[in-house]
Amino acid sequence: MQNNPQAAVYITRDSIMKLLSDEEVARVSTAETRIRFVPGEHYVDLLHLEQGVRVATLTKEMSTANLIPRRSVGDDTWRKILSELVAASVARQASPA
């Protein structure tokens, strides 16, 4: 299973969600919640972790069902998320094609 890149993505998604406090999970996990992103705002798309931190380019309202907006988590949690994304990227690059 370790040679399966898709499995690695699921593990990373799970490990990222485990970094969030209960309060942070409540702010980002409700599927019906929508938030208005403004240009330059950072977020992570849990369905596309391979893209790393994304930056909103337009003012747009989006569902937060699979997104972790930077503003929804504390500084320490955001640093941990960035570390997970870097580790996952390194692992993908090191795995044989």
Q: Chunk the chain into consecutive blocks of 10 residues (it has 97) and report each block's average pLDDT, rounded to whole numbers.
A: 56 83 80 79 91 90 85 95 88 73
Cα(28)–Cα(17) distance, integer angstroms: 10
Cα(74)–Cα(82) distance, integer angstroms: 12
pLDDT at 39: 93
- Whether residue 41 contacts residue 69, with contact meaning beta carbons closer than 8 Å, is answered with yes
User: Which range marks the domain in which residue 60 is found?
Assistant: 5-94
Residue showing tokens 């997970």: 84
Residue showing tokens 């799970």: 14
Beta-carbon contacts of 51 under 8 Å, excluding residues fewer than 6 positions away, are: 45
pLDDT at 73: 93
pLDDT at 79: 96
pLDDT at 11: 64
Q: Phi first, then psi: give them for residue 2, nearest 5 degrees.
A: -70, -25
pLDDT at 31: 47
Number of domains, the chain: 1
- pTM value is 0.74
Spatial CA neighbour of 20 closest among 66, 93, 89, 77 = 77
